[in-house]
């Protein structure tokens, strides 16, 4: 193609947006039938580089619209409007087991979108593109306030939406990797919820004392959120993923302090010994380490540690006592936790107890454990460092990339609806349903 004759134009709109917001990528002014590669490149906070690309053929008008035209190959195929984000993968030569996570939400995820001649699969970053633009993807919307929280011995960050408030609150708990992970809370605040990201495995108090926190730590976090002048204290939810689900379910049923308007549990289980400390819960999980499996690639599979689901009522949270709406999000290919089996057992327990009207289950075929906000690149496996022993393992999370990515988009949209209905609405709607993509 003669570059002088054809001045290729590339448009990405919006060029600045939230992480869960779709963009439209269009290429104009190329020859009809022209074969081209649209490429996305991102260098994340930890210095590792990621790329995604699709192969396209220009229309008779000399144009490509990624939201309407099929990719014929690359890291994704078919009509996939956001394939350039969700199919991002480490560039060739990267060390294995990477997982993309935004650790500094106060800066955007910068993505370079470029157009190259022909259907290419490698060496693109070393070439000069026909044209290129940079787009900014933010977890934190303009006006959202980030407030570090240390009172009561907490290690937390509160994100407050823009505007005068007050706002409903969300207590946001991640899983067994520990650390203070903020990006989901920042995005929730961008949608109108005062969300507190809480580090409960590696907080300052645990580092100083060597002791795992107890229920009082979570109840302190709840009280700080409840009593904040910009938070509606009677409209608070808990959101947990993986181990965070264990905390959420236990406290929502048994705590005399925490009174939730609703709860969301992603990729977790109700199985845990009751009456013990969190140290004892974690010790119980470790005692089942003999059930660990290793696949042919050397990836660790932990989903059997809590199987079979016990019948002993002292070994699982009695969700039959739950008094607030509960949303369970399940990946049917979860290789880390027995989330599908746990969801089935919780549904049976709630049906027997007569409170199943409070339960909603979203179950996704071929989705794995790490169900994150939309367009987060899928990590089927990644390096995992245990919070206590600092032991490294290559852990299998599961999931098939396209199906997992669709699950993330659908679950996030439905979770926001669930939170709005229960935290902004006047009643407790809760209706039993099982949804499959």
Query: Which is nearest to 306 in space by CA: 325, 327, 281, 326?
Result: 281
Indicate the residue among 90, 121, 138 that finishes a domain: 138
Catalytic annotation present for 334 = yes
Band of the pLDDT at 428, cuts 50, 70, 90?
A: very low
Catalytic annotation present for 369 = yes
Q: Is residue 89 part of a domain?
A: yes
What is the torsional sign of CA 69, 402, 77, 20? Answer: positive
By percentage, how much of the chain surpasses pLDDT 90? 87
Q: Same structural domain for residues 289 and 417?
A: yes
Q: Is residue 437 part of a domain?
A: no
Q: Same structural domain for residues 308 and 385?
A: yes
Predicted pLDDT at 436: 38
Q: Which of 55, 228, 299, 369 is catalytic?
A: 369
Q: What does residue 430 show for φ and ψ, rounded to 5 degrees?
A: 40, 110
Q: Same structural domain for residues 158 and 232?
A: yes
Q: Same structural domain for residues 134 and 251?
A: no
Predicted pLDDT at 391: 77
Q: Same structural domain for residues 325 and 277?
A: yes
User: Which residues have C-beta within 8 Å of that of residue 122, sequence separation ≥ 6?
Assistant: 92
**pTM (2 d.p.):** 0.94
Q: Same structural domain for residues 277 and 354?
A: yes
Q: Is residue 434 part of a domain?
A: no
Query: Which is nearest to 64 in space by CA: 87, 23, 34?
Result: 34
Three-state secondary structure readout of 27-82: EECCCCCCEEEEEEEEECCCCCEEEEEEEEECCCCCCEECCCCCECCECCCECCCC
**Span 316-342, average pLDDT:** 98
Residue carrying the six token digits 């939730």: 260
By percentage, how much of the chain surpasses pLDDT 70? 95
Q: Is residue 120 part of a domain?
A: yes
Predicted pLDDT at 47: 92
Residue carrying the six token digits 């969801």: 343
For residue 430, pLDDT over 70 is answered with no
Distance CA 417, CA 436 (A): 17
Indicate the residue among 138, 156, 179 that finishes a domain: 138
Q: Same structural domain for residues 59 and 157?
A: no
Q: How far is CA 395 from the centre of its chain?
A: 17
CB 245 within 8 A of CB 308: no
Give me the number of domains the chain comprises.
2
Catalytic annotation present for 405 = no
Task: Name the residue range of residue 90's domain.
Answer: 9-138
Give the CA radius of gyration of the chain. 23
Q: Which of 185, 190, 242, 405 is catalytic?
A: 242
CATH of the domain at 369: 3.40.50.1820
Predicted pLDDT at 433: 37
Spell out a b/e string for 64-75, using b for 16 or more CB atoms within 10 Å of the CB, else e.
bbbeebebeebb
Predicted pLDDT at 268: 97
Residue-wise pLDDT tens digits, 253-311: 999 999 999 999 999 999 999 988 888 888 888 888 889 999 999 999 999 999 999 99
Indicate the residue among 73, 108, 138 that finishes a domain: 138
Residue-wise pLDDT tens digits, 178-203: 899 999 999 999 999 999 999 999 99
| Choice between 428 and 306, residue whose per-residue pLDDT is larger | 306
Cis ω on the peptide bond leading into residue 96 (within 30° of 0)? Answer: no
Q: Same structural domain for residues 256 and 357?
A: yes
For residue 347, pLDDT over 70 is answered with yes
Q: Which of 172, 333, 334, 410 is catalytic?
A: 334
Distance CA 45, CA 183 (A): 13
Q: Six-digit token pair at 290?
A: 């003999």
Indicate the range of 26-30, 172-176, 286-290 predicted with least confidence. 286-290
User: Which residues have C-beta within 8 Å of that of residue 198, sequence separation ≥ 6?
Assistant: 154, 155, 156, 171, 172, 173, 180, 218, 221
CATH of the domain at 19: 2.60.40.2240
Question: Where would I find the H helices in 171-260?
Answer: 183-189, 204-209, 215-227, 243-254
Predicted pLDDT at 205: 95
Predicted pLDDT at 320: 98
Residue-wise pLDDT tens digits, 244-263: 999 999 999 999 999 999 99
Q: Same structural domain for residues 208 and 333?
A: yes
For residue 435, pLDDT over 60 is answered with no
């Amino acid at each position: 193609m003669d570059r002088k004759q054809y001045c290729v134009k590339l448009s990405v709109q919006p060029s600045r947006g939230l992480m869960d917001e779709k963009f439209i990528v269009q290429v104009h002014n190329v020859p009809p039938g022209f074969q081209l590669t649209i490429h996305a490149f991102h260098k994340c906070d930890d210095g590792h580089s990621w790329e995604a690309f699709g192969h396209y053929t220009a229309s008779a008008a000399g144009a490509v619209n990624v939201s309407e035209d099929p990719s014929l190959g690359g890291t994704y195929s078919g009509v996939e409007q956001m394939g350039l984000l969700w199919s991002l993968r480490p560039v060739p030569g990267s060390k294995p087991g990477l997982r993309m996570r935004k650790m500094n939400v106060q800066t955007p995820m910068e993505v370079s979108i470029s157009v190259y001649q022909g259907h290419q699969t490698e060496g693109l970053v070393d070439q000069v593109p026909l044209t290129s633009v940079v787009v900014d993807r933010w977890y934190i919307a303009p006006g959202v306030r980030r407030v570090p929280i240390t009172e009561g011995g907490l290690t937390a960050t509160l994100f407050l939406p823009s505007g005068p408030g007050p706002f409903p609150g969300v207590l946001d708990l991640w899983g067994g990797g520990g650390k203070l992970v903020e990006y989901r809370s920042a995005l929730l605040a961008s949608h109108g919820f005062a969300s507190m990201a809480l580090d409960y495995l590696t907080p300052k108090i645990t580092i100083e004392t060597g002791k795992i926190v107890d229920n009082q730590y979570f109840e302190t976090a709840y009280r700080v959120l409840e009593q904040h002048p910009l938070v509606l204290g009677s409209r608070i939810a808990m959101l947990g993923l993986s181990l965070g689900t264990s905390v959420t379910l236990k406290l929502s049923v048994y705590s005399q302090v925490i009174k939730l308007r609703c709860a969301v549990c992603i990729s977790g289980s109700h199985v845990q010994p009751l009456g013990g400390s969190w140290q004892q819960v974690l010790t119980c999980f470790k005692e089942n380490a003999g059930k660990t499996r290793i696949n042919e690639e050397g990836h660790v599979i932990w989903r059997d540690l809590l199987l079979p689901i016990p019948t002993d009522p002292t070994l699982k949270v009695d969700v039959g006592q739950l008094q607030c709406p509960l949303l369970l999000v399940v990946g049917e290919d979860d290789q880390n936790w027995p989330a599908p089996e746990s969801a089935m057992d919780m549904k049976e327990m709630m049906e027997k107890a007569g409170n199943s009207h409070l339960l909603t289950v979203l179950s996704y075929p071929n989705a794995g454990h790490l169900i994150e906000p939309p367009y987060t690149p899928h990590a089927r496996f990644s390096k995992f460092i245990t919070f206590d022993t600092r032991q490294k393992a290559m852990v299998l999370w599961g999931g098939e990339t396209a199906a997992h990515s669709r699950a993330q988009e659908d679950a996030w949209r439905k979770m926001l609806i669930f939170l709005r209905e229960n935290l902004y609405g006047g009643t407790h709607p809760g209706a039993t349903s099982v949804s499959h993509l």
